[in-house]
Amino acid sequence: MSSNTQEEKGSNGGDDKGSSDCDYDKRLDQELQVVRTLRMTMVSLLQNLQGARDDLVLLGDKMDRVRLASEKCRKAIMAKRKQEASAGLSHEETAPPPKRLRKDG
């Protein structure tokens, strides 16, 4: 029976259970720290993704407005050309003269 007691105490003759509990607690603390860091990283990532989603929604709205304005301008240009064609004027006759660049710019 003394041999079992000696094995339980470990090679240093002391109680190893306390030191193994300490090692286990240290490992748990390290894992807990990793989990906390991972959680903070995931929360930050989620916030960044939500911000990016909001930016994409705003960009989509702007693109829709630009597309509608472009379509409106295209229709106005086509109507003007159709009106000019029915009046017998060419596009070159109604176009403003080209701007000339000055020497300084």
81 touches 91 (CB < 8 A): yes
| pLDDT tens-digit readout, 61-97 | 999 999 999 999 999 999 999 998 888 765 555 566 6
pLDDT digits (tens, 9 = 90+) for 7-51: 444 444 445 566 788 889 999 999 999 999 999 999 999 999 999
The length of the chain in residues reads: 105
pLDDT, residue 98, reads 65
Q: Is 84 exposed, middle or buried (0-12, 13-18, 19+ CB in 10 A)?
A: middle
Quote the CA–CA distance of 23 and 99 in Å, as a whole number.
82
For the question of whether the overall pTM of this predicted structure is more than 0.85, the answer is: no
Domain boundaries, the chain: 15-93
Residue bearing the bigger pLDDT, 88 or 103: 88
Separation CA 14–CA 18 (nearest Å): 9
Which residue type is seen at 67? R
